[in-house]
Amino acid sequence: MTERFDTILASPARLLVVAALMPGRPLSFMELRNNTGLADGNLHVQTRNLESAGIVSIRKSAQGRRSVTTFQITEAGVTRFRRFVRRLQTVLDLEVGGIHPSPGEDRIDDSQVWS
């Protein structure tokens, strides 16, 4: 396993943004903020990083007297996200050191999967 993880997509905040955009429909800043739960400043920084990496396109348009910013995942972004997910799946499919998930009945979420 010499392939490395995409460091741009490995960021939890950027991963939230890309996952929200994966359906392909452009989202406004407010829609993206509501979908990700990120603060305005953090969302601004992360979307600029994703734009610089060619993963997200940012479009500004005028609606009356207001400027509206919309975000959409690019074809390259879809490809990179799919590759990232496949890489994660490869890691999940490995049986490292004989550690296996516990089928605990009282498990609330996957953060409690290891016993």
18-70: pLDDT as tens digits: 999 999 999 999 999 999 999 999 999 999 999 999 999 999 999 899 999 99
Which tokens in the block code for residue 4? Answer: 């490395």
Confidence of residue 109 (pLDDT cuts 50, 70, 90): low
The Cα 106–Cα 100 span in angstroms is: 17
Going from N- to C-terminal start, the domains of the chain cover 12-90
Q: Please name the CATH architecture into which domain 12-90 falls.
A: Orthogonal Bundle (1.10)
For the packed helices 12-21 and 75-93, what is the interaxial angle rounded to 10 degrees? 120
